Amino acid sequence: MIEVVPFTVGPVQENSYLVRRQGAETAVIFDPGDEAERLLGAIDELGVRLEAILLTHTHFDHVGAVAPVARATGAPVWCPQIERDVLLDVNRYVPWPGFGPFENHDPEHTISGGERVSVAGLDFDVVFTPGHSPGHVTWALADGSALFSGDVLFQGSIGRTDLPFGDHGRLLRSIAELLERYDDRAQVFPGHMGPTTLGAERATNPFLQDLVA
C-alpha cells in the first residue's frame, strides 16, 4: 500500500505528489512545480525524509520548486535525459511572460525510459511517454497499480501539444501504450485535475475513443 499526498500548486494549478509506503519514514516527491515552502512544510509535518525528486518533464509549472526543495532536503533529482538542458536554464523555456523567475538545477540522475528506479522502498518503472514534451516519462509503480502520468493523460482530457516541441500523434501513441501495458484498475495521478483510473478514461475520455475503437 502507498500513501499519496497531493498538492495543487502555483498559478497553473499543477499537481505535485508526496508518496511513501504506508507509514514509512522515507518518501519521494513528484514534480514540485511551485510553492516550495508549502511543500517543505508538508514534508516536515509528515515527518519523513525525502529520498528523491522525480520529474515527469521539465515544463516550468512542474519544476519551479525543484531547486529549493532539493537544496533544503538534499534529495537527488531524477530528470528526463532529453530535457536536462531545460532544467539547467528554466527561465529560457518559459513560453509566456509573467511567470518566474525560477531557479535552475543540475539533476543528479537522468532517465530515458525503460529503467527501474528503487527509492524510498518503492520500485518504479520509467515509461517513455513523449508527445506533450519530447522527453516526457510516466512513473509507474512496478506492480502496475499506480501511474504518475504528468501531462500525458488527464481526467477526461489529454496533454496539450500546442507548446513548443509538442506532437499530438506521438502523445496518442504514448497513451495507447499505457492502455495496452496497464490494467484498467491502475490509478492515474495526473499533473493537473483530479485522479482517475485507466479504466475510467478508456470508457469515458472523449479524446481516447479512436484509440479504444
Q: Could you read off the pLDDT of 50-107 as tens digits, one per residue? A: 999 999 999 999 999 999 999 999 999 999 999 999 999 999 999 888 898 999 999 9
Q: Has domain 2-212 been given CATH number 2.40.110.10?
A: no
Q: Are 78 and 117 in contact (CB under 8 A)?
A: yes
List pLDDT tens digits, range 201-211: 999 999 998 88
Where are the chain's structural domains? 2-212
pLDDT surpasses 70 at 212: no
Pick the closest to residue 211 from 166, 152, 164 (CA basis).
152
Q: What is the pLDDT of residue 46?
A: 93
Q: What is the DSSP string of 91-114?
A: GGG--STT---------SEEE-SS
Confidence of residue 213 (pLDDT cuts 50, 70, 90): low
pLDDT surpasses 70 at 41: yes
User: What is the C-alpha separation between 76 and 97, in angstroms, rounded?
Assistant: 30
